[in-house]
Each structure stands twice: as structure tokens, then as C-alpha cells.
Structure 1
Amino acid sequence: MMQVYQSRFGQIEVDPDTIIHFPQGIPGFEECKNYKLLHEDSSAPKLLWLQSLDDQDVLFTLIEAERLGLNYQLTLSDEECEYIELKAAEDAQLFLILSRPEGQEINANTRAPLVINLQSRKGLQKLDVKADIVFRNT
């Protein structure tokens, strides 16, 4: 276990086997390549936080795309699959970055989801993506 101090969460223990690596970083944060996915203490957390382990001030609030009823027809290039070592579509999970500009509603960046390979724990941000909205009876 590693002890890491993060500005929002304080001292946290990080198992090196749970670190998510973004080989190219996230656009705008290319120097931050290693992250820890944190969540509320719940069996079905609604929000997650992607905390950079390279810069304690870099933190993204995430939500799973399916929670918002979004159906992505996402195509990754061979190169992108190689970056995150993705061999099977079911190993990929899509997350959206949430933001709240001052004085505005919370927004989800639906055009640039994060794709994380749950097996290799490697990720990338896919830019300029279109999603269909799926309405569910809940």
C-alpha cells in the first residue's frame, strides 16, 4: 500500500494494483497519468472521483454513462485499443466527466467520455463522440 496525501480527501491508502493509468494523460492534463478511482461508501455509488496521483489538485467528478441513459456506439481505433490493452468490449467502462460552471447547472461532458479498461486499468478520453439518449422506464 502507498500513502498519498490528496488536497480534497486528505491522507489515503492506495493499493498499487488499483491505480488507473492513462498512457497519454487526459487532454489538458497530459502530465497526469496515474489516478485512483474513489467513490462514496455505497454498494451502488452514483458519483465517483478520479483523483490524480501525480498532482493532488487534479480531481474529476465522474458518473457512469449508463446512469444518464446514454447509449454510445463507440469505435476505438486499433491504436486506442492498444493504448489501453482492450481486447474485449465488455472489459470497457464509460464514464462522463461532470462539471459545474459557477452559477450554472451540473453538466456532463457527453462528447468526450473516459474509456477505462477494467482488466488492464488503463484509460483514455475519446473526443468528439455522439451518444443516443435512451429513455428507460424507472
Structure 2
Amino acid sequence: MKANTIRFGELEVNPETILTFPRGLLGLENCTRFKLLHNVEKDAPVVFFLQSLDDPAVTFSVVNPAQFGINYEFVLSDEETDLLQSVEPSDLAVALMVYMPMGANTAKDEAGGGISANINGPLVLNLGKKLGLQKVLVGPQFDITLRDQGS
């Protein structure tokens, strides 16, 4: 199938690779079908793009939180486990949506640079079944700013 996107132009998408978020994402409940894309660049952190197939303007940058030393421990409800069609933690992956705050400086050595992430809404993915959900974590509200500290 073909999908038109604002960020990537026209994409050819194999229907078997579509990730379905049955409940959508927080604030975007009508966006339920996504394609996970990536750009492989040498020596660059692995960033994936979660492109909505329901709204061509909706794209998120997502990362594996473990690559930044963030390890999640939370319990899925029975409803969430059913939605993901899995009870085995080994079947699931966690992804974190990241963004560059408006007005942020992209230079790594200047104040205001860096990528921010609201870690209270990770994505939980069953890549084998092509299912996902956004897990809203209740508790302390905080953001993490990720900065390249250089070598």
C-alpha cells in the first residue's frame, strides 16, 4: 500500500509491517496505524521514526530508552496484556518518544541544547504481533533532557 507523509513523502508500506495501536496515542486516539522507520547513519544514535498512516502530518522520533540508561519497570494491566496479546516480557519492547523543545539550541555545548523526553508515557510494543500501546505512568512528573556530553 502507498502512504503519503509530510516528512518522508510517499512511502510504499507492506501491510504486514504496520504497527497497530488499538487505542491510539494520548491525544491522538484516531491515529492507530503506524510504520516504524529508521535511518542508518554510522556513529549516530539509533533513532526511529513512528509515522502515522492515518495522518500524514504525525511523526514521532522514538528511541530505545536503554541506550540512555533508562530502564523501565512497570506492571501491565490485564487489559493491556490482552491488547498486546502477550504475557511474556521477552515479547515486548519499550520505546521512548523524544523531541527537540521549541527554541532549543541544537549545539551540544551551548545551554538549551539537547533532546527532551517525557518518560511518563513510554510506548510498549509487541513487534512480533505488530501491536502497541502508550503506557501512561502515574507518579512523579518529570522530563529528562538528553545531552551529548562529547568524548
Q: TM-score range by the shorter chain?
A: 0.7 to 0.9
Are the counterparts in 2 of residues 74 and 129 from structure 1 also a CA contact under 8 Å? no
What does residue 117 of structure 1 align with? 126
**Pairing of 1:101-116 with structure 2 (within 5 A):** 101-104=101-104, 105-116=114-125
How many residue pairs match? The answer is: 129
Query: SS of 1:82's equivalent?
Result: helix
Deviation at 1:125, TM superposition (A): 0.6
Pairwise CA RMSD: 1.8
Query: SS of 2:71's equivalent?
Result: strand
Structure 2 residue runs without a partner (length 5+) = 105-113, 140-151
**Pairing of 1:50-89 with structure 2 (within 5 A):** 50-89=50-89
Query: SS of 2:85's equivalent?
Result: coil
Q: Answer yes or no: is 1:36 the counterpart of 2:45.
A: no
C-alpha distance 45-100 of structure 1, shift in aligned 2 (>3 A): closer
Q: Percent identity?
A: 42
Higher share in strand: 1
Letter in 1 for 2:116: N
C-alpha distance after superposition, 1:98-137 (max 9, x if no partner): 122212332022111000011111101111267xxxxxxx
Are the counterparts in 1 of residues 40 and 46 from structure 2 also a CA contact under 8 Å? no
C-alpha distance 11-45 of structure 1, shift in aligned 2 (>3 A): farther
What does residue 7 of structure 1 align with? 6
Deviation at 1:87, TM superposition (A): 2.7
Structure 1 residue runs without a partner (length 5+) = 131-138
Query: SS of 1:66's equivalent?
Result: helix
Letter in 2 for 1:113: P
What does residue 149 of structure 2 align with? none
- TM-score, normalised to structure 1, is 0.87
Range with bigger deviation, 110-119 or 37-46: 37-46
Deviation at 1:42, TM superposition (A): 5.3
Q: For 2:45 and 2:115, how far apart are their aligned partners in 1?
A: 18
Deviation at 1:71, TM superposition (A): 1.4
Letter in 1 for 2:21: F
